[in-house]
Amino acid sequence: MNLSAAPVLCSLEAKIDSYSVKKTIVYYNVTLRLLNASLREPWTVSKRFSSFDELHKQLSSSFSDVPTRPKKTFFRMKTPSELMQRKKDLEVFINKLLMNKELLSSIPVRKFFDIDKYVPKFRAIIFKEALDYDVLRFIYSEEDNVLTLVQELPLEDSTDKCLIRTFKFEKELAGEDAVNYNEILQAGVPDAVTCITYKSTLKAFACGTDKGMIYALKMEDNINLAAPSHSEVVTAICFEDIEGYIISAGADKSIAGTSFDNKILYSTKLGNHPLNWLTFNSNKSLVIASNTCGEIFLCDVKNVKLVLTTYLSLSEASPLKGFISTPINLFICILPNEVLWYKNSFLQEGKVLGRWKSEADITSWDYSEKEETLLLATKKGEIIFLHLPSEEIKAILPCYTQPINHLQILQNSGYMITAAKNSLLCIGKFS
């Protein structure tokens, strides 16, 4: 019998605080809590010794490294000292179980301790054909249930540097059921892909490269684009929501608009430092762009003019990596190992509301609108759940033993997807 299940990536700790006697039967009250999850309350399960014995038998039939359970006794334990000793022995046994990730993720342990009721559920998306090469970045469209991957190709295998693959799923990536999918696109890119975006209304994706090129494809119309939009690395990319052209930022200090008929609609230099991030506000036809020195630019792309520039007080040792503008009127700035946040009106006021420092360098980030929580992926392979503006850490999940390349929250379902090296993992929502 297969007792394995989807992995539990959280760490758990157990303590038997007390025991109770009901009709001569002793029940041990086991309190469990998630480590590094300050917003989650502990929970308690009450079990008799024979239940622990049965759990041990179940696990021993399928796993080889099951810890030794406390010894049985011929006579029923009655004295307080005997029961206290058994309580201590059971607590040691339980914590050894919980420290073993394989046993912790097994179906018997999850049921026994009610883990699925209190711990976020995790489900891996297995792409057997897509895991041959490292996943550098990806983007998932919740409107279309389309996932586009960027993979790094070894030089000895191909003249292309990257491979773009697109998968169409039958339904959204949520719940515990497996989701069928088909590969609908595979395309090689001669340069290193540095950023990617997807637009569901156009059924189109676009990517920027280290050579300043923009490559794009409208999949239904089979319209291809290959345009030299920048003289240096393309650092960020998005679609203009109204007319459907591509907006990009580059290390050449400019933003550019590129249409699918291979025309450069505009190219505007902003500031004196390489740009590194941008986003498009469709309500006001404004592009918000930034550079590593902390300059933030508002550009009216309809009239192709700079509206406003503001400056963050940053040191050269801690450059700006990117930003998020949230629905709760926060503007969040991401530094290598620090997060700053302002009011969305900070462009006029410039006052820092708060800051939080990470012990490990931040590699990717996203914001959950429903949970009002910032998710930060790190070089240590952890995901940090930081509630803003309260600054309270909801959890720290040790997902990988290597740096996380990319992270995305699925806003509709609350799930998130992460990638590290050649792994792609869909993790259950953490609410």
Residue 229 lies in a domain: yes
22: domain CATH number is 3.30.1520.10
Identify whether residues 199 and 113 lie together within a single domain.
no
pLDDT of residue 350: 58
Report d(CA 311, CA 348) in Å as an integer. 10
Query: Is 2 contained in some domain?
Result: no
Structural domain that includes position 16 = 12-118
Tell me what pLDDT residue 422 has. Answer: 73
Is 243 a member of any domain? yes
Residue 166 counted as domain residue:
yes
Residues 21 and 159 in one domain: no
Residue 189 lies in a domain: yes
The total domain count for the chain is: 2
Of 88, 118, 148, the last residue of a domain is 118
What per-residue confidence (pLDDT) applies to 349?
A: 55
SS3 263: coil
**Do residues 84 and 130 both lie within one domain?**
no
Identify whether 144 is part of a domain: yes
Domain boundary (98, 118, 138) is at 118
Q: What is the pLDDT of residue 47?
A: 95
Indicate the SS3 state at residue 202: coil
With respect to residue 402, please indicate whether it lies within any of the assigned structural domains: yes
Q: What is the pLDDT of residue 4?
A: 45
Mean pLDDT by 10 residues, the chain (431 residues): 50 88 89 69 91 94 90 70 90 92 86 83 54 86 92 82 91 73 89 94 94 92 89 95 92 95 91 91 81 88 78 74 84 91 64 85 92 91 87 78 89 85 71 53
Judge if 250 and 348 occupy the same domain.
yes
Is the domain of 185 the same as that of 114?
A: no
Question: Tell me: the pLDDT tens digits for 63-109?
Answer: 988 999 888 775 666 678 888 899 999 999 999 999 887 888 888 99
* pTM of the model as a whole: 0.76
Whether 301 and 203 map to the same domain: the answer is yes
Question: 126 and 109 share a domain?
Answer: no
> Does residue 204 contact residue 217 with C-beta atoms inside 8 Å?
yes
SS3 content of the chain, % helix, strand, coil (to 5): 10, 45, 45
Tokens standing for residue 6: 């989807």
pLDDT of residue 1: 36
Helices of type H across 31-74: 49-60
Does residue 133 share a domain with residue 102?
Answer: no
Q: Do 28 and 41 lie in a common domain?
A: yes
pLDDT given at position 154: 85
Residue given tokens 């990596």 in the structure block = 321
Task: For residue 187, give both structure tokens.
Answer: 């395309």
pLDDT at site 237: 96
Q: What is the pLDDT of residue 113?
A: 94
Q: 58 and 156 share a domain?
A: no
Residue 1 inside a domain? The answer is: no
pLDDT value of residue 193? 96
Tokens 């997902």 belong to residue? 399
213 class by beta-carbon count within 10 Å (0-12 exposed, 13-18 middle, 19+ buried): buried
Q: Residue 40's pLDDT is what?
A: 62
395 contacts 385 by C-beta, under 8 angstroms: yes
Residue 215 sits in a domain whose CATH number is: 2.130.10.10
Whether 236 and 253 map to the same domain: the answer is yes
CA distance 241 to 230: 21
pLDDT at 390: 85
Domain-ending residue, one of 62, 97, 118? 118
**Alpha carbons 14 and 69: distance in angstroms, whole number:** 15
Distance CA 182, CA 170 (A): 8
74 shares its domain with 161: no
Radius of gyration of the chain (CA): 26
